[in-house]
Structure 1
Amino acid sequence: MKLPLPPQSETGLMYRANELSGATLGEIAHSLNIAIPANFKHHKGWTGQLIEKALGATAGSKPEQDFADLGIELKTLPLDYQHKPLETTYVCYAPLTNLVGTTWLTSSVYNKLQKVLWIPVQGEREIPPDERMVGSPILWQPTPAQNQLLKEDWEELVELIALGKVESITARTGQVLQLRPKAANGKALTEAIGINGEKIRTRPRGYYLRKNFTQQILNNAF
């Protein structure tokens, strides 16, 4: 079977997403002739890439939304047996230099989170990848209160980065949004601002949504 073309409308996208609900990752992969890894030790992003292909997403790792023409971002959400998120959700890379003039409304975090299609997936480690089931899709837009929380966290984190305090930011900083190292290994380094305004080398960082935030999205949807 050929990979689907990008959906032409939000309705078309939701139809496809609902079609995946109840299917296993193995069934979806077989229908698209995609090889299934035995485990996710070396294939961490495989589930997300599979769902992207099944739904016709085009962005890949580009900074735009996965369905740029529809203004919709796609996120898979691995859940435990109690339907609770198993991990934080990666949003996008965090720029660590050239922050002058950056505002919340022009940020990648804002752009990525204005409308998100969440695809819950069974994520317990002992379930083999091909047997993990896909749940009901959630098309979500942040409420004014959620948007305000995200904005406050983003502004706090960007201010710390701009003041040269990137190394002092911990996973505890931020109520719903956090900044964490984002790299395949600890050897990858990027440029950042030091405490005296000098250039330093540090690990790349990414913005992540906390589990309590995605849990709230699930609770409101179901």
Structure 2
Amino acid sequence: METLQPLRHPPRSEEELMRQASRLAGYSLSELATLAGLPIPGDLKRDKGWIGVLLELWLGASAGSKPEQDFAAIGVELKTIPVDKLGRPLETTFVCVAPLTGNTGVVWETSHVRHKLHRVLWVPVEGERRIPLGERRVGTPLLWSPSAQEEEQLRRDWEELMDLIVLGRVEKITARHGEVLQLRPKAANSRALTEAVGAHGEAILTLPRGFYLKKPFTAALLARHFLL
């Protein structure tokens, strides 16, 4: 049996990426962390992105925090998704930071959200709190592109949310806006403010916002592919 090793280079094809991701299925996070020489945090309170970092290491992801896809050479984004014992997502999925200024003439076709969701490698990970972090197992990966219907849902929500941002109504947007996509604050603390457009076109300071996929959208996506 071959020894499991992290990819030492960015994957050169979707097939290579899927092969490596499939090898990880069934392993616990502590097994993968030990093999990769990565320390395991006690919990995810201060290390929210740790699982993503661990899987990026194993899969040869190259983007880091750059605005391109995680596997830029093959145009694929990596999304880890914590699931319960029935395979249902436990939280919303972060897509990207929302631009709050300079949005004149932006269109869905060239948007960052569409670019990030064009091709996604979903890696489910056990996420129930009762399971100690190190004992949580990695699930079967899924390579996904939005169907025409999913793309239409995403486009509609994106356009609605971007209209509100452009019209200076960013402070009025709640998590209830959008059918499948939502906009909500994304900041480490309430002092991290960024510039946005106010109701009268003036510059205001507000919390940075991020686009997130709602749980029913990702739940339906996983259920359809894994026949849950």
TM over 0.5: yes
C-alpha offsets along residues 21-41 of structure 1, whole Å, 9 cap, x if unaligned? 000111111111000011111
Task: Report the CA distance between 1:152 and its aligned residue.
Answer: 0.3
C-alpha offsets along residues 153-201 of structure 1, whole Å, 9 cap, x if unaligned? 0000000000000000000000000000000011110000000000000
Structure 1 unpaired stretches of 5+:
none
SS of alignment partner, residue 50 of structure 1: helix
Q: Which of the residues 146, 154, 163 maps onto 1:142?
A: 146
**How far, CA to CA, are the matches of 2:139 and 2:209 in structure 1?**
30
Runs of at least 4 residues of structure 1 off by over 6 A?
none
Letter in 1 for 2:116: K
Q: Does 1:109 align with 2:110?
A: no
Instruction: Indicate conservation of the 8 Å contact 1:117/1:140, yes or no.
Output: yes
**How far, CA to CA, are the matches of 2:74 and 2:32 in structure 1?**
23
Equivalent positions of 1:169-184 (< 5 A) are 169-184=173-188
Task: Return closer, same or farther for 1:2/1:16 CA change in 2, 3 Å cut-off.
Answer: closer
**How far, CA to CA, are the matches of 2:65 and 2:224 in structure 1?**
29
Q: Percent identity?
A: 56
User: 76-85 vs 110-119, which deviates more?
Assistant: 76-85
Partner of 2:216: 212
Equivalent positions of 1:112-127 (< 5 A) are 112-127=116-131
User: 197-206 vs 39-48, which deviates more?
Assistant: 39-48
Instruction: Indicate conservation of the 8 Å contact 2:98/2:210, yes or no.
Output: yes
Partner of 1:130: 134
Letter in 2 for 1:75: K
SS of alignment partner, residue 70 of structure 2: coil
Instruction: Indicate conservation of the 8 Å contact 1:3/1:32, yes or no.
Output: no
Q: Which of the residues 82, 89, 98 maps onto 2:102?
A: 98
Partner of 1:221: 225
Instruction: Indicate conservation of the 8 Å contact 1:160/1:169, yes or no.
Output: yes
Letter in 2 for 1:103: V
Letter in 1 for 2:36: L
SS of alignment partner, residue 69 of structure 1: helix
Task: Report the CA distance between 1:112 and its aligned residue.
Answer: 0.2
Letter in 1 for 2:161: L
**How far, CA to CA, are the matches of 2:128 and 2:112 in structure 1?**
30
SS of alignment partner, residue 73 of structure 2: coil
Task: Report the CA distance between 1:82 and its aligned residue.
Answer: 2.1
**How far, CA to CA, are the matches of 1:20 and 1:145 in structure 2?**
31
**How far, CA to CA, are the matches of 2:181 and 2:39 in structure 1?**
34
SS of alignment partner, residue 95 of structure 1: coil
**How far, CA to CA, are the matches of 1:193 and 1:4 in structure 2?**
44
TM-score (norm 2): 0.95
Partner of 2:156: 152
Query: Aligned residue pairs: how many?
Result: 222
Structure 2 unpaired stretches of 5+:
none
Letter in 1 for 2:154: L
TM-score (norm 1): 0.98
**How far, CA to CA, are the matches of 1:214 and 1:69 in structure 2?**
25
**How far, CA to CA, are the matches of 1:25 and 1:131 in structure 2?**
6
Instruction: Indicate conservation of the 8 Å contact 1:189/1:202, yes or no.
Output: yes
